[in-house]
Amino acid sequence: MFDLPIKSVMERKKFVAVAPDKTVSQTARLMISKDTGAVLVVEDDALIGIFTERDVVFRVVGKGLDPEHTQVRAVMTSNPLTMGPKQTYGHALVIMQKHGFRHVPVVDDGHPVGIVSSRNAMDPALDEFISDARRREHYE
C-alpha cells in the first residue's frame, strides 16, 4: 500500500472545498454534512489553504473567537505543503509524520484534485480485519 501512488488512495469523494470568506460555522456545518475532517480553501481554482477540525478547536474555540463571524481565511493553514497524485502514499505518510499533521492536499498542475489522510492507511487493514472477523463468526 505504501508504494501506491497517492491518486489511488486519496479521498476523492471527501474532497471538499470552501471559499476563504466562509465563516468557521458555515465550514464546520459543511464538514459535518460531508463527514470530513478537513477542507481545502480554494480561491480562483487555486489552493490557498487547508482548514481542519483541529483548527476549529485550537485556533477558534481555544482562542475564544466567534465561529459565526470568523472567516476561514483568518484561521486556516495558508500555503500548506502539497503532494502530487503520482507521489507514493508512503512518502505522504512520512511528510505527515515529520510535520505533525494528518491531511495533505493533492495538487495536479496547480489545481487541487483531492486530499490524502493518514487515516487512509487504516482503511485497507480495517477492511481486512472486519472480513476476517466475519469469516470466523460464520465458522464458530
Cα 106 to Cα 49, 66, 89, 128, 130: the distances in Å are 12, 30, 11, 26, 29
pLDDT for residue 11: 60
pLDDT for residue 127: 47
Q: How many residues does the chain have?
A: 140
**Which CATH architecture is the domain 6-139 placed in?**
Roll (3.10)
pLDDT for residue 120: 64
Q: Which residues have C-beta within 8 Å of that of residue 59, sequence separation ≥ 6?
A: 65, 75
pLDDT for residue 126: 44
> What is the full per-residue pLDDT of the chain (140 aa) written as tens digits?
677 788 877 765 568 999 999 999 999 999 999 989 999 999 999 999 999 999 999 999 999 999 999 999 999 999 999 999 999 888 888 888 899 998 999 999 889 999 988 776 665 544 454 455 555 666 65
pLDDT for residue 4: 79
pLDDT for residue 21: 98
DSSP string computed for 117-131: EGGGGHHHHHHHHHH
- Beta partners for 17? 40
